[in-house]
Chains A and B, each alone.
Chain A
């Protein structure tokens, strides 16, 4: 235990847990009527009474629950279908690579592109107008921004499906999935049934927390909801932000109460999901007991691939149309291509977005380095422990991801204001670190934990200290996963919207904030922001790919 690595786990634990706990306390206190700084000194439930009296609050509550669960279930189904069918159809496997730009692209970038793609005057309708559809003016659909949140669910699915696919593939790695599948199929089961019954149940335990993270994000998708969510009334998370942004302090307590309600809703959604595991499991068991079909039917592997692949393509197309907008001249309905292309928006970009780009890239770089280093040092400390690391660790790791952001960021802001560091880059970087660390951990844990301990033993037998062994043997050998963890950290940091808004008091302007600000105004400038936002993480991933290639060449 007395190795130089022992200090890092507690420190990291602090970075992960302290902000969430402090943030929740800072939200709970005003919600229940106690925050002397703004004149609340009598604890009570007035804020909740006020909240429930707001017009349409119950609609917002129902919308939040329904869109969260629908998006999670749909993303989960499609992710499973995608992994099952690409496992069954090896030739479809390159499609998996298609998803990585979506993984790296921030939520708001996807939302902006998708909104233009599917709008009544959007790209898809333009493609078929007026030649095929006969439309010379946009149809009168209530979509996107529909009152049921269907467009919001769609956007969430586009963004969360690739994440769940990644998590499924990570869970599959290291298991004899191929042979288990072959064994199951040789018994007469179709590829999808074989995967769902023989493989999926083994993976599920390690997918539960990522699913809860998807639920938590789905409950609090402010940037996406602002772009294509319902507006009268909006989902609860948007109302939280509106209330907390109100100039009249009276609304703060109501906003804090709404944040607490949001927290409860996310918890409720997780419990509902957890309760649904039972009937689904029982149903699967019943199907399983029936055995394979007497005569195998046609394979559904290809059809099962179509929908998730279409979702992936929609995501990529969303990014592509925004890039096209960034260089578009006049481009009116029903033209499916701009009248002319020019670089005006890009020429104006250095003036308008230069600072934001620098701030975003700088933050991502610093936070990515810090998160990767901390994760690496903690995992290294694990290997020096005499006792195994308790499984609870993994739970704490996910804490910042399974608590909806809108529920505790207000508390963090109160804390930062009290410490007089709100609106500073340092504050934003620290809060970013809280959200980025879990991902760095996830990306690194597998590689570090399965690293053959004999390498280190060889090094120490040769007379080197643990530190030297770590730097000179382990780190170079782990360069590829370390680079991937860094790239993922950069992507997560660049995409953070709410944490940047709150910790930066709206003053630290990153590209994600600019994207939301420009969302409604000028599609060309928004296209530039989306392109930059998508390019930044892609650069990091490219760097990681180069490192990997170099390691492989050396090996």
Chain B
């Protein structure tokens, strides 16, 4: 693999030198030298053995290639790490923070960026960033309507999809209203993770986009004056459907993984995911029945990009940049997209790769349950991050109150 990527690195470096010739920053080669021996504590959600295995592979690679030690700090939610970064700043720690690299997007990124707790901008200067499909995948530059401004580097693509057991459900519903009808006709066989789990919150956002009378205001911060009207149809839909949810809507799975387990156990017939390749990966891992398939709503589903960011308090910023750059390399991106490994779609533009690298992607199997890109349907933009908190609180008020 090293043989493949070294020419790429040179090519990219050449590009970079041209682009950033005017800048006074240390050259990439100097950074590579400086990073040797650094330890990068990568705070990343660790709820999936497939992802943990992939990150372990990345650790091996960056260690043998650049002498960077990658320490996967396993967390159950990115907000944990965000809370820690904030706490350390509150306690007056400016350097040597406990997080060097963080898997992040959406409201967590928004919070850290607003509080000026992130290192950067660094992403646009990564040699491999030139390969990112910024035109075809605009969410690599705009995260939940907030410009990244180079404070986070894209890692993978996500699109909201529904998983279903084709043995029990040959024709899955392909719109919010069809889903509602199906739930009413099949009580107890549908649920979603409890917000603030991000799959649960994304499901609410998807419902909101599908039911709201006017999508335009969702692109801006929540305005309490209009929020009630914008979300009224969403709550009406839930009020009607949730009594027919799994466990009558009195209990919810904790996250997407728990929901997949329920699908495997046969307690529910549908599951939700933000990764179009996840179903195939789970089937390959023996965690879902082979009859599971993926579908989306005909009118489109929410899509976004997930990123890695570097806290300003990190003392291994250079090492973290090296890792972020490696995560963007065709080798790493192709392995990540492999449904047998993880199945997470690439952020790269295949047209910008040379033939050998493109072949890496073209050799990948699609996966038995993965839709070809053309069949995924339109991608809907995320609402403004402020909606996340608002929707979560309102949902909790309605369900728990």
Contact = CB atoms under 8 A, between A and B. Distances in A.
Interface stretch (A172-180, A279-287, A503-511): A503-511
B79 A247 contact: yes
Interface string A518-555: 11111101000000000000000000000000000000
B401 A56 contact: yes
B162 to A, nearest CB: 19
A330 B292 CA distance: 14
B18 to A, nearest CB: 39
Contacts of A352: 49, 52-53, 56
Interface in B165-222: 187-188, 194
A332 to B, nearest CB: 6
A137 B251 CA distance: 19
Given A145-B247, A506-B84, A56 B53 contact: no
A516 interface: yes
Contacts of A244: 83
A232 B250 contact: yes
A417 interface: yes
| Candidate in B41, B47, B91, B112 with the most chain A CB atoms within 10 angstroms | B91
A348 B258 CA distance: 21
The dominant DSSP class at the A interface is: loop
A140 B98 CA distance: 45
A107 to B, nearest CB: 17
B91 A142 contact: no
B76 A516 contact: yes
A514 B76 CA distance: 9
A423 interface: yes
A410 to B, nearest CB: 11
A193 interface: no
A489 B108 CA distance: 39
Contact of B257 (A423, A516, A521): A521
Nearest to B111: A247
B252 A138 contact: no
A232 B252 contact: yes
A256 to B, nearest CB: 13
Contacts of B393: 55
Given A248-B111, A520-B257, A330 B286 contact: yes
B289 interface: yes
A333 interface: yes
A246 B265 contact: no
A101 interface: no
Nearest to A135: B266
A232 B267 contact: no
B90 A38 contact: yes
Given A56-B400, A522-B287, A247 B53 contact: no
B82 A507 contact: no
A509 B76 CA distance: 12
B265 A332 contact: yes
A37 B253 CA distance: 36
A262 B111 CA distance: 29
Contacts of A344: 286
B380 interface: no
Contact of B253 (A351, A418, A520): A520
B87 A417 contact: yes
> Interface residues of B toward A: which range?
35 or more
Contacts of A56: 396, 399-401
B250 A245 contact: no
B79 A59 contact: no
Nearest to A247: B82
Contacts of A334: 266
B132 to A, nearest CB: 27
A456 B286 CA distance: 64
A375 interface: no
Contacts of B88: 417
B46 interface: yes
Nearest to B197: A520
Given A56-B400, A330-B286, A245 B80 contact: yes
Contacts of A333: 265-267
Contacts of A39: 90
A344 B399 CA distance: 40
B247 A140 contact: yes
A350 to B, nearest CB: 10
Contacts of B227: none
A232 B400 contact: yes
A114 B401 CA distance: 29
A319 B264 CA distance: 21
B266 A245 contact: no
A309 B264 CA distance: 32
| Candidate in B48, B56, B83, B248 with the most chain A CB atoms within 10 angstroms | B83
A231 B194 contact: yes
A344 B50 CA distance: 13
A541 B229 CA distance: 63
Contact of A121 (B48, B194, B267, B289): B267
A379 to B, nearest CB: 39
Contacts of A518: 47, 49
A418 B56 contact: no
Nearest to A38: B90
A521 B261 contact: yes
A404 to B, nearest CB: 21
B91 A246 contact: no
A417 B98 CA distance: 11
B261 A146 contact: no
A37 B287 contact: no
Contact of A146 (B250, B253, B397, B401): B250
| Candidate in B92, B247, B396 with the most chain A CB atoms within 10 angstroms | B247
A420 interface: yes
Contact of A142 (B49, B251, B289): B251
B306 interface: no
Contacts of B73: 506-507, 509
Interface in B239-288: 246-248, 250-255, 257-258, 261-262, 264-267, 285-287
Nearest to A418: B91
A352 B51 CA distance: 11
A231 B397 contact: no
Contacts of B56: 351-352
15 contacts: A38-B87, A55-B401, A56-B399, A120-B267, A142-B248, A142-B251, A145-B247, A147-B251, A245-B77, A246-B83, A247-B86, A351-B56, A517-B74, A522-B48, A525-B49
**3 A-B pairs with least C-beta separation:** A56-B400, A520-B258, A521-B257
Given A145-B251, A247-B79, 17 more contacts: A37-B91, A121-B265, A138-B267, A140-B246, A142-B247, A142-B251, A329-B286, A332-B264, A333-B267, A352-B49, A352-B52, A420-B91, A423-B98, A505-B84, A517-B46, A521-B255, A525-B49
